[in-house]
Chain A
Amino acid sequence: MSITLEPQQTAPSDSRAFGNARCLVCRECRAEQPLGPFYACPECFGPLEVGYDFPSISRHTIEAGPKNIWRYAELLPVRPDIASIPNTEPGCTRLLRADNLARELGMKALWVKDDSGNPTHSFKDRVVAVALAAARELGLNVLACPSTGNLANAVAAAAARAGIKSVVFIPHDLERPKVLASAVYGGTLIAVKGNYDDANKLASEIAGEEDDWAFVNVNVRPYYAEGSKTLGYEVAEQLGWRLPDQVVIPVASGSQLTKVDKGFAELGRLGLVEQTPYKIFGAQAEGCSPVATAFRERRDVIRPVKPDTIAKSLAIGNPADGPYVLDVCRRTGGAVEAVTDDEVRDGIQLLARSEGIFAETAGGVTVATLKKLVDCGHLDPDAETVVINTGDGLKTLDAVADRVGPAATIEPTYPAFVATGL
């Protein structure tokens, strides 16, 4: 039996409101929906993603575009003039050749895609910018989210810049910098007495009742998730329009990893890069590693866990895109690995010490997982590898607070300096 959806919102105001996007497609049963504020398939509950009819797109058009994600506007569900509408202008973060880190790990060619350089210091600005564009076209007036922190910062800032209301739900025990860096933008911040999964459940229930709210990662999630493709596009463009051999990506919900894969595939199909093989690796913290566990045990089903890790931005115990992460990593010949909290701290320090990049705990997870994958032989040290740092270490200072500090505290005199023996 099939059921039809009552339209909840008016249709998009014009045919170019979502650019080259054509419909929403169920990732499970491939049933199609019109573009709208929908995120679950009415046939099978499967998640929806954006389907496109791409025209021919040239490297030149992209290269001539703005120095932010809107250079890829033709590949996103956004209107063609999106760059001219007030937004945080995320993207075009640096891709750094990491020779020092490569040497330490015994690798030949390693790059760090440093997404801490975004406006609110994490990759979340990318996805929120696309979600905001969708919310506007769908006539939704409030930008909202449940968040582990980085998304909270990004939503609050984007809403402030767009001049609309925001409501953000966070677990009550979040790191203080992430709380303050959300609240400062003046939206409504609500601390939920529970973990992320509790806040997410609450948000999903509210999303079903508040018709004019855009929960960026719930009811406009299909659009939101597309923003992560730009990480893949940028890596390829910055490498000189080619795909890397291997990529290591942190896994929370798993959406980013699957969208980098989608981005690489689209570039290949559109002839913007040569369709060379690549392997995608997922990184989790052991205290919240349901996807790594399923990968190791060769299962297709993700068993939810109660998170217990310092990597709070990855602490999603019931990752909705987990099954797709397994699919991507298995299909490409990659893997999903997990590291301990001490290895996460080691990873943060290793990246900072070797490359001058201060990553938040999620970046520590990724670097530590890179090291583990090299050590155990899953990752080829001779193949060109990109590791993604998704956020700024200033957000999670506590992770290294007990490990680093001044070498000495001295009087402001030269003899006192000499006495340190430095």
Chain B
Amino acid sequence: MAVTVRVPTILRTYTGGESQVTAEGATLNELLDSLDASYPGIKGKIVDDQGELRRFVNVYVGNDDVRFLDGLDTPTADGTQVSVIPAVAGG
């Protein structure tokens, strides 16, 4: 069983317009590598050249912001859902 990844609108050009795709990986970092193998270039939009999450992207494993967990080392168990969301907040 794989992990479901919800893809924001601005990255759907990489996924052929799909809003939800699947990938494999025990951690978020591995998951993003798997995602990048299927959709080349997508990881570089989420992670910067230093290997850190980009400043204006939020990634959730389940309902939790990975910045409160272990960042890119956050475990991604089979069956969980990962959401990639541009950071906007205010209201």
Contact = CB atoms under 8 A, between A and B. Distances in A.
Determine if chain A interacts with chain B.
yes
Interface of A: 1, 3-6, 8, 28, 38-42, 44-47, 124, 145-148, 150-151, 194, 196-198, 200-201, 204-205, 208-209, 216-218, 221, 225, 252-255, 301, 303-304, 306, 316, 318-321, 323
Contact of A323 (B46, B55, B86): B55
Interface of B: 6, 8-10, 13-14, 17, 19, 41, 45-46, 54-58, 60, 63, 65, 67-68, 83, 85-91
A204 B85 contact: yes
Contacts of A42: 10, 13
B21 to A, nearest CB: 14
A208 B89 contact: no
Nearest 3 Cβ contacts at the A-B interface: A253-B90, A40-B86, A151-B91
A200 B55 contact: no
Given A45-B56, A201-B65, 10 more contacts: A3-B14, A6-B13, A45-B45, A46-B55, A124-B91, A253-B89, A303-B67, A318-B87, A319-B89, A321-B90
Contact of A201 (B19, B55, B60): B60
B90 A208 contact: no
B13 A5 contact: yes
27 contacts: A38-B10, A39-B86, A40-B10, A42-B13, A44-B56, A45-B10, A45-B45, A47-B87, A47-B88, A194-B63, A196-B91, A201-B60, A201-B63, A201-B85, A205-B85, A208-B6, A209-B19, A217-B89, A221-B88, A221-B90, A252-B90, A254-B90, A255-B90, A318-B87, A319-B89, A320-B90, A323-B55
* Residue from A45, A147, A216 having most chain B Cβ neighbours under 10 A: A45
* Residue from B55, B68, B83, B87 having most chain A Cβ neighbours under 10 A: B87
A304 B67 contact: yes
Nearest to B68: A304
Contacts of B85: 201, 204-205
Given A42-B13, A45-B56, A301-B55, A208 B8 contact: yes
A28 to B, nearest CB: 7
Given A201-B83, A208-B19, A304-B68, A318 B89 contact: yes
B45 to A, nearest CB: 7
A151 B41 CA distance: 37
Nearest to A1: B41
Nearest to A221: B88
A318 B88 CA distance: 9
A254 B6 CA distance: 27
A201 B85 CA distance: 8
Contacts of B87: 45, 47, 318, 320
Given A3-B14, A40-B56, A42-B13, A204 B86 contact: yes
Contacts of B89: 196-197, 200, 217, 253, 316, 318-320
* Residue from A40, A209, A319, A321 having most chain B Cβ neighbours under 10 A: A40
Contact of A39 (B63, B67, B83, B88): B88
A45 B86 contact: yes
B32 to A, nearest CB: 14
A42 B91 CA distance: 24
Contacts of A4: 13
Nearest to A303: B67
A150 B90 CA distance: 11
Contacts of A38: 10
